[in-house]
Structure 1
């Protein structure tokens, strides 16, 4: 009975730490909540024996749960028949430190596509040789072979995919069957950057300069609030746009449009004191009035309308469940929508209305700019698709097409039977492995800060169970419980030594 109670307490402590990390709770807050539960649930023998202070919780995360999170993934990849997997890497700055998370993706019939993190290390060398060295060192550390790697996915930068000396080209020399898994969200982002260059109004710079004007002065912000009240417009904070963030531009434009009447009146009222760059961007002169035609708003409305389409595509591409066979459909549909809007000269309903309120020659120039935007975007996407198809043709040369036909026939038969007869949970599984998943930088930022260590990032990404499910699995995992017991002894010895001092 005593042994059973120890097991339950140990499993409960591990689950408490897991719950804390899973739901982004600080260790101090979790410890306080646990002490409160001990007061409330005074009749619980398990809760009364639990002890999960900050020091112990951090040690459990680093020395027990994080190694377990990685070991489970390695065990799957190193099974009796080594499992093929793709690797994804994406450098991230943390102050003056360069962090490299190494993610893996593989497919299991009972679980579908699995996205896990294998390693998370610091590497100041951002060259192709430095990145390859980090990848090989990580794989060797876990006893994995580069021959198991089927694809390499990363940002579309020269260091990753350059023609002569890049991570991909050098890895392919060592693993000749390696596939290139480009980040299509990056392609969409680059498409926007190239297409915006065709517009007479520098919309991105308008957003940056207006935000910069108000972000440095509380007095200017209060003046804008007064103008919003005078113009009978609800005040909204100006949003910041970060040029390297794919989805930050359109929300910033939307926020400008919500207060545009007041914003324009504010800058007109400044007269000669209006910053010269903002005056040029907004096409204001010393004689400008609120009644003058405003073609800058037309461009903002157009961008607000069309960027919604780009946002929709990026969100689909960033989904963990998106597979390589779906990427072609997503990009093809995206290009069709752009082509249809160009051919129909559809720039958004509000844009159409505002075009009628500006000078005819300005309206004609705006329409020409919008058409150039569509042409540039479509051409850029077609260029990237052509390069991708060409690289795949080189792969086909090494494939026995007769054998491939037999495999496809067999696969189609199995898929049909699964679809017709399998349980509901099977119908929701992806049965094609994706090679285009990248570890999100937002997760990296939230889970690795001064108060959060890299162990928690591994735990968050690799464990998918609900907290109650995790507790049940802990009770059955003798090795994990044993590690926690040994850790408890170390913590007790440390605390005892500190107390003597």
Structure 2
């Protein structure tokens, strides 16, 4: 062979080597791991494939000295293949291995996506090393909603996941007849199909509470729920009405708050909707009264018929208004209970105590005639006939609530929930109660060994509780929202770490596997909704299923997953990803040219190099036809508006580019839902301005500065509120005592003194308090508990609240979440970042009035002033 020809072949070979990797090389493995990690990161943070593909093309430009970055080619098709055929099956395999031969429950629900009925299938179990766990084993689509069809599908799901049928202890779902009916429900079919006569029904406890208050409020003469819906419809689609409402609010010197929608089938919307209604109520009254009875809905006017005289007087509350305040008060109480029942830490062992507490509080309200502090105060000012009408309605509400609660929750001493309660470890275990529980659930244990294990647990129980966080705290508001209450599964994990107790373990695994609510499936639906946003509407059911598997079955952060890929345990995952060679298309299977270089002639290398440099979302190449067909370069939501079409198919747009731009504008502006999404946390906003302001919470940027003191703020409204401090303005006045405040939140917090019911009674001294946090602080007076209950495990320092402890722990962890955008320096506190940024801006807002010299810090100016006063340092 001639020398020139050899040189030409070498040049072509080097070009090929740049894009095509040799099999089983270290470089190939690193590239494969990088692509897996990028795909995992995109799924965990709900990134669109369009955004990921764009990022992949930027890496060679950003990391110019990296051979790995230049060879990452993970477009949409490859990412989908990695998700569907590699990562999702691997996540399911990990979940099934973790379940093993442990007892578990199967939990499901149904949700509509357009004309598609979707059923996620979850599994709940107790792992002695991790505590209570939940994962997804399937996600199927079925238009047939009969109980028998659902049961057959669930049986198939269990078989496909290779789970042991006789280890199922409960079936959890919504409390509808198709799931828990007496004769032909899903539960009945599962018992028969799987031969499990003792299968426990996992009722959704949150649904019971929700329906309790819903049925009770039907006894009111004034339909507050209908009022909320009608008021929302008045402003939901009419900008003119909103503008008029804002004028009334400006006149009354009140801030506008968006009217919230109430969805009758949802757990928590009624309280939030009524709460927002009351915040705007004075302006809403004026608005509707000004429109007149002829143009206002009858449902709304029923609450305003007596308002034409009292509309401007805040000291008068009419009879219809009392009903609104009553609903707000009772819904606040039920809302807190539902939050507890929907939290991650709740167990079936706690349900009896929670429902008993709820029932007792309703009974006390009924016996003492309490309807909320504000309602009770203004009720006395009404005529006797109106007082009697309201009291009669409210008493009927309490009666119906109690009747519904007692109908759907078993309060008897031999109930299943009462039998499970001892495992919550509120006190020492008793053998008789354990034996009654094992008999009821048909759990086979050795009685003698169980007694020994029980004695061991009772001896170490105080020590176990001391290892958890504040085990004696009750359900305070902050803990309900942040889920910082004691997790009984963690106590059991701590016990099983140090002591062998096979009989107790068998009982705990059986009981803690029973779902206390259907909250996990509701969260699956929330994540599913995020996946099907406008930007990502090309996702098919199989791909959504795969992403849900990854989201819920992988418990690792992106950084932890990067470390996992380097371990021996991830070897099979990397091998599976490296062998993936084909991607889906409407026209069959498209070969991955990256991993099949031997099929190409040297003359075609240059063409393929060009193709590889282009995005897979732009070019679809078919070896059968030997040509590339251009894919319209559109946002993902335009490429797949028809859900039936697959990914690889080219989409032609009518009318060329002119029509395409119109389509883009039309689809991009419709409703604005999901249009502006934060890439950090996945939160969506209706306006791009709101997204820009939200992003500052991640970057630490605070561009607006106060000229008086130099303090920085994230947006203009916050700056304006702050400036009132310098001007001495206090526009928010308490109508009850006349005290003024510079900010509305301060006024709202103050008004709780007047409006909230003092329902928390100290058992030691009898003092009544208006909220849980105040009640808990008061109890520490009697118990001798330290006023700073949050303890740092590293150094032992105590803190008054959890946020203070979190800030302190950054000293030990070295975490510095606030980054300077100018130089990249990081800080553990936002205030330190703000102070540092003055180095770049040159800002010196603190001026000496004596000599005119300026300083960047207030403390520096204070030291300087002492030189004028003649004081020593």
TM-score (norm 1): 0.90
In structure 2, what is the Cα distance between the partners aligned to 1:330 and 1:408? 28
SS of alignment partner, residue 104 of structure 1: strand
Aligned to 2:273: 252
For residue 154 of structure 2, the aligned residue among 124, 135, 144 is 135
* Residue 592 (structure 2) pairs with residue 492 (structure 1): yes
* 1:390 to partner: Cα distance: 6.8
Query: 177-186 vs 68-77, which deviates more?
Result: 68-77
Q: Work out which of the residue numbers 557, 560, 564 in structure 2 matches 1:469.
A: 560
Q: What does residue 226 of structure 1 align with?
A: 247
- Distance in 1 (CA, whole Å) between partners of 2:458 and 2:531 is 38
How big is each residue's C-alpha offset from its partner over 1:252-291, in whole Å with a ceiling of 9 and x where there is no partner?
Answer: 1011101111111111112243334235532527976625
- Per-residue CA deviations over 1:376-408 (Å, capped at 9, x if unaligned) read 222322222238877749984574899568536
Match status 1:336 vs 2:372? no
Retained in 2: the 8 A contact 1:341–1:347? yes
Indicate which of 446, 450, 453 corresponds to 2:530.
Answer: 446
CA offset at residue 133 of structure 1?
0.9
Contact persistence 1:339–1:374 (CA under 8 A): yes
Report if the CA contact (8 A) 2:138-2:545 is conserved.
no
2:497 pairs with 1:413: no
* Residue 52 (structure 1) shift: 2.6
Q: Say which structure, 1 or 2, has more relative contact order (CA 8 Å, 6+ apart).
A: 1
Q: Distance in 1 between matches of 2:445 and 2:85?
A: 51
Is residue 274–residue 324 contact of structure 2 (8 Å, CA) maintained in 1? yes
Change (3 A) 1:357 1:229: farther
Distance 1:30 1:169 in 2: 47
Indicate whether 1:359 and 2:402 are aligned: no
Find the aligned partners of 2:152 and 2:556 in 1 and give their Cα distance: 33
Matching residue of 2:322:
298
Give the Cα–Cα distance (whole angstroms) in 1 for the partners of residues 464 and 240 of structure 2: 67
Gap regions ≥5 residues in structure 2: 1-21, 420-435, 470-485, 493-507, 584-590, 595-619, 629-873
Q: 1:488 to 1:423 in 2, by over 3 A?
A: farther
Contact 2:173/2:179 (<8 A) preserved:
yes
The one of 25, 32, 37 equivalent to 2:54 is: 32
> In structure 1, what is the equivalent of residue 30 of structure 2?
8
Q: Which SS does the other structure have where 1:273 is aligned?
A: coil
Are 2:179 and 2:185, in contact at CA under 8 Å, matched by a contact in 1?
A: yes
Deviation readout 1:27-60 (Å, 9 max, x if unpaired) = 2223334444543333344333323322222221
**Cα-to-partner distance string for 1:470-500 (whole Å, 9 max, x where unaligned):** 1122223111111111225656249653673
CA distance in 1 between counterparts of 2:581 and 2:208 reads 50
Looking at structure 2, the residues matched to 234 and 420 of structure 1 have their Cα atoms a distance apart, in angstroms, of 51
> How far does residue 341 in structure 1 lie from its aligned partner after superposition?
2.9
Moved more, 50-59 or 109-118: 50-59
In structure 1, distance between residues paired with 2:308 and 2:336: 41
Deviation at 1:430, TM superposition (A): 5.5
Q: Distance in 2 between matches of 1:183 and 1:430?
A: 24
Greater shift after overlay, 161-170 or 415-424? 415-424
Alignment of 1:458 with 2:477, yes or no, is no
Match of 2:222 among 180, 201, 204: 201
Conserved? CA contact 1:293–1:359, under 8 Å: no
Aligned to 2:196: 175
Pick the structure with greater CA Rg. 2
2:851 alignment partner in structure 1: none
Contact 2:465 2:491 in 1 (8 A): no
Cα deviation 1:187-246 (Å, max 9, x = unaligned): 011101111112111110000111112223222222212222223332222111111111
Q: Does 1:274 align with 2:295?
A: yes
Question: What 5-or-longer segments of structure 1 have no aligned partner?
Answer: none
| 1:155-189 Cα distance to aligned partner (Å, 9 max, x none) | 11111111111111222232112111110001011
Question: Which stretch shifts more, 443-452 or 332-341?
Answer: 443-452
CA distance in 2, matches of 1:350, 1:370: 15
| Aligned: 1:481 with 2:574 | yes
Of 259, 262, 266, which residue of structure 2 is paired with 1:241? 262
Shift in alpha-carbon separation, 1:4–1:281, aligned structure 2, 3 A: farther
Map of 2:371 onto structure 1: 347
Question: Judging changes above 3 Å, is the alpha-carbon distance between structure 1 residues 353 and 286 closer, same or farther for their aligned structure 2 residues?
Answer: closer
| Paired residue total | 498
Asked if structure 1 preserves the Cα contact closer than 8 Å seen for 2:257 and 2:280, the reply is: yes
Does residue 262 (structure 1) correspond to residue 283 (structure 2)? The answer is yes
**What does the per-residue CA deviation read over 1:280-328, in whole Å, with 9 as the maximum and x for residues that have no partner?**
5325279766257522222111211221111111111112221111122
1:373 and 1:423 mapped to 2: Cα distance? Answer: 42
* Alignment match, 2:806: none
- After superposition, where does 1:179-190 map in structure 2 within 5 Å? 179-190=200-211
User: Are the equivalent residues in 1 in contact too, given 2:108–2:122 (CA < 8 A)?
Assistant: yes
The Cα RMSD (Å) is 3.1
TM-aligned CA deviation for residue 250 of structure 1: 0.8
